[in-house]
Structure 1
């Protein structure tokens, strides 16, 4: 298993079905906060649904149509980033995130999203990564801005969430834009 440092005590790691119990405990801790804009707490309600959710992402990873990663602080799962959809043949993906209240304000989601977007563009060769967000979700919109994404537009009342129609903003970054904004690679040392 790999772990990528996000800061002194935070790491980004794959989130896998064997971690279903830990994932459920994390969702339970942040259920209300996470559920303000994201449907994840409605999908993960018990151990069976937690395992099924993570198994679904394992299947997506195996078919190259999605990925999910957890953010751990001091070995405690506090959030994550994911590609709910990847269309590698067409060079597109959608990225997303969630976070429990204990980890808010540290820049963890921005750093984690930057890592997975960089992987998608530079390693996998994708051309476009989208960020779809409820128009009311100011923190997630701020992440899109920090990632250098462009607001493509609003899908008015396109998403029914907990019985109400929501506007969804679509943000994106294109591969040439992403590459141009990356800091230069340090020179190799002999």
Structure 2
């Protein structure tokens, strides 16, 4: 079972069926905040929807094609960080994340991403990590920018969000860039 301690009071843990209620409750509590950027929020209408998501996440992890981990902050479920996929041939992945509204602005997601990136480059030996963020989602963009990712471009109208298409910025970080930054610090 994957568990990654980020620092005292913050850790990542693979989602398991027993986490479904915490996931569901946080989504409901933060629905208005989350739905602005995440199309799937409206489809999370009952506990069984979160249970099904966790079941699919467990299949993804068992297939060695990424994973979804709960973010636990001071004993509370705070959000999710995960890999959309792992392309083992090209040694690339894409990170996705969300935080419940009460946990915003505390540096949680930046710290979680930093720890996961370190794991992906050093343990998984990946070469490239990508993060995408909606052009208007400034808070989400700040995370890869803080972590030294390069803004590589804009994917125009790449995601349908309820009633409109949204553009996304694409950020990339290469293993050699990460290693060079680690040597400097």
Change (3 A) 1:153 1:124: same
TM normalised by structure 2 equals 0.92
- The equivalent of 1:90 in structure 2 is 90
CA contact (8 A) 1:34 1:40 kept: no
Runs of 4+ in structure 1 off by over 3 angstroms are: 1-8
1:3 positional shift: 4.5
Within a 5 Å distance, the mapping from 1:1-190 to structure 2 comes to 3-182=3-182
CA contact (8 A) 1:21 1:50 kept: yes
1:160 positional shift: 1.2
2:30 aligns to what SS in structure 1? helix
1:8 positional shift: 4.0
CA contact (8 A) 1:34 1:100 kept: yes
Q: Distance in 1 between matches of 2:109 and 2:159?
A: 23
CA contact (8 A) 2:66 2:82 kept: yes
Q: 5+ residue gaps in structure 2?
A: none
CA contact (8 A) 2:69 2:80 kept: yes
How many residue pairs match? The answer is 185
Change (3 A) 1:66 1:43: farther
1:184 positional shift: 7.8
Q: Distance in 2 between matches of 1:103 and 1:144?
A: 18
**RMSD over aligned Cα, in angstroms?**
1.9
CA contact (8 A) 2:37 2:137 kept: yes
CA contact (8 A) 2:39 2:160 kept: no
Q: Deviations over 1:27-85 (max 9, x none)?
A: 11111112211234234321111111111111111111111111122321111211112
TM normalised by structure 1 equals 0.89
Change (3 A) 1:182 1:40: farther
CA contact (8 A) 1:80 1:109 kept: no
